[in-house]
Amino acid sequence: GGPCIPFFLSSSLPPLTHTMSTLGGVALVGGTRMVGWSAAALTRTLSETRCNFPPWLKPRRGHTGTPRGAAAAAWGGAANRRASSTRAEPAAEDSGLLHEHIQGAESVEDAHEIMFFSLRHAATVTIKEMHAFGAQKNNKRATLIAAQFLHEELPIRIARRARELKKLPHNLGEMPSIVEVRKLYEESFFRLRRMPCPKTNKMEEEFTAMLDNMMTQHNSVQQIVASGLQELNDHLATETRAGLYNPTADYDFGQFLDRFYLSRVGMRVLVGQHIMLHHPQEGFIGIIQSECQPAAVCKHAVDDAKMICELSYGVAPEVRLLGATDMKLPYIPEHLHYIFFELIKNSMRAVVERHGPDVALPPVEVVFAEGIEDIAIKISDKGGGIPRSGMDRLWSYSFTTAGGTAEKIERSKSGDKRPVMAGFAPRAPPGRK
């Protein structure tokens, strides 16, 4: 319920994700001892299902002047950026993870394989590269190349998240909700690795259908993780009262969640872009709208937030859109909607709780400003602001200014979640990504 929340969008299409400084390559423990997978397992991991990208896919000087050259530079550049990353050594305790039970593993070699992939670097792909790649005319060739890239890339990203979930401190990794997510990631890893690299259009269609199914299975991950954090919050509060836990020596769960949600967003964008290339829409390249109008997206988000607010409080303040409401840029409207919805919903809640439902509510204002290189969008309300003591925790996943009306996350037997106005749900921080 802050008085002013600005955020920025760049017309130069910022990177979708970044390459984190992590472990990669063949790992050694203590510099002398090879982690316990066999040479045969390593050979199978690297060659059995790996795609061989055609030579023209690699970016070369003078080949980026055409759509095909731009596409080749995009995906080839992503692959080369990962291939040229430096290698590092894992922590000694990682070797112990190799022989623990892993969901979906049928042999020790399978456990070795997911560990090996978790030590490799993820590739960097920008929205600009995806837009250029998807714009080429030969759609079937483009989707086949993209499928081959995803067949190589997704197991790395999934294995890294599964490994990190397994290593969480304070027994968070063993809490039922986190175990549920980790098993889902491990099963997805082996589904991908056991499917041959798509080399024909028919194989690509089968691969895409599997990705679509996998996306659906992962829809609830964000709220399941939120449930795990609520479980942890309650557990640590009990231990703190008993003197068994020192909050000042806490593991930085915020950084873990930043990495987890950034990786999740990156994977869903890559997969969603590939799937939507099969279902072209006017004005879109995959999930990227070539002339996205932020104000139009904002109007839809306002309608959704207003409905939730009225369900919770019986009333909702007016939202006014001001400034350069006609500006356009290439962007993913779904991401904009998420940001608008969470911030406007928060502003509505703060205004209603501060002024009460029985008086004329002051409006929430959204101001759009267009610059030469970027645009700025400011959302402001008269909900009372954020206490100075809470400023340092503004982007904490457990922070809220909500009062007694804040709601806990509720999971039905079917696994569906109903929308909440506030509570222990990591909604606004992921929007910052």
Kindly state the average pLDDT of the residues 47-61.
Answer: 45
Kindly state the average pLDDT of the residues 141-167.
Answer: 94
pLDDT above 50: residue 152: yes
Q: What is the pLDDT of residue 71?
A: 45
pLDDT above 60: residue 321: yes
State the Cα–Cα distance between residues 133 and 130, nearest whole angstrom: 5
* The pairing of beta strand 288-292 with beta strand 319-323: unpaired
End-to-end CA distance of the chain, in Å? Answer: 20
Write the pLDDT tens digit of every residue in 174-212.
Answer: 888 888 999 999 999 999 999 999 999 999 999 999 999
Q: What is the pLDDT of residue 10?
A: 54
Across 30-34, 37-41, 104-108, 163-167, the highest mean pLDDT is recorded for 163-167
Long-range Cβ contacts of 174-181 (<8 Å, 24+ apart): 175/228, 175/231, 175/232, 176/228, 176/231, 177/224, 177/225, 177/227, 177/228, 177/231, 178/224, 178/225, 178/228, 180/224, 181/221, 181/224, 181/225, 181/228
Considering the chain, what is the average pLDDT of its residues?
A: 75
pLDDT above 90: residue 350: yes
**pLDDT: is 15 or 146 the higher one?**
146
Q: What is the pLDDT of residue 197?
A: 96
Q: What is the pLDDT of residue 369?
A: 97
- With tokens 């970027």, the residue in question is 374
Which of the four pLDDT bands, split at 50, 70 and 90, describes residue 256?
A: confident
Token reading at 168? 């969480």
Number of other residues whose CB lies within 10 A of the CB of residue 19: 15
Q: Which of 140, 121, 1, 145 is nearest to 70 (CA)?
A: 145
pLDDT above 80: residue 431: no
**pLDDT: is 420 or 371 the higher one?**
371
State the Cα–Cα distance between residues 206 and 52, nearest whole angstrom: 19
Q: What is the pLDDT of residue 258?
A: 87
Q: What is the pLDDT of residue 403?
A: 54
Q: Which residues fall within 8 angstroms of residue 136, CB to CB, at 6 or more apart?
A: 67, 68, 70, 71, 142
Kindly state the average pLDDT of the residues 306-322.
Answer: 96
Q: Which of 136, 130, 162, 66 is nearest to 275 (CA)?
A: 130
State the Cα–Cα distance between residues 186 and 207, nearest whole angstrom: 18
Write the pLDDT tens digit of every residue in 153-164.
Answer: 999 999 999 999
Kindly state the average pLDDT of the residues 278-288.
Answer: 95
Q: What is the pLDDT of residue 117?
A: 94
Q: What is the pLDDT of residue 78?
A: 57
| pTM summary value | 0.73
Asked whether 97 and 163 are in contact (CB, 8 A), the reply is yes
Report how far apart, in Å, the C-alpha atoms of 339 and of each of 42, 115, 302, 334, 346 are: 43, 35, 11, 9, 11
Long-range Cβ contacts of 133-139 (<8 Å, 24+ apart): 133/70, 133/71, 133/74, 133/75, 134/273, 134/277, 134/285, 134/286, 134/288, 135/67, 135/285, 136/67, 136/68, 136/70, 136/71, 137/67, 138/68, 139/277, 139/280
- Which residues are 9's β-sheet partners? 375
Q: How far is CA 216 from the centre of its chain?
A: 15
Q: Kindly list the structural domains of the chain, giving each domain's residue range(s) and its CATH number in brackets, ordered by start.
A: 4-8+288-431 (3.30.565.10), 16-272 (1.20.140.20)
Which of the four pLDDT bands, split at 50, 70 and 90, describes residue 255?
A: confident
pLDDT above 70: residue 429: no
Q: Quick one: residue 170, left, alpha or beta (phi over 0 = left, psi -120 to 50 = alpha)? A: left
Looking at residue 50, what DSSP letter applies?
-
State the Cα–Cα distance between residues 431 and 425, nearest whole angstrom: 12
3-state secondary structure of 293: coil
pLDDT above 60: residue 411: no
Asked whether 290 and 296 are in contact (CB, 8 A), the reply is no
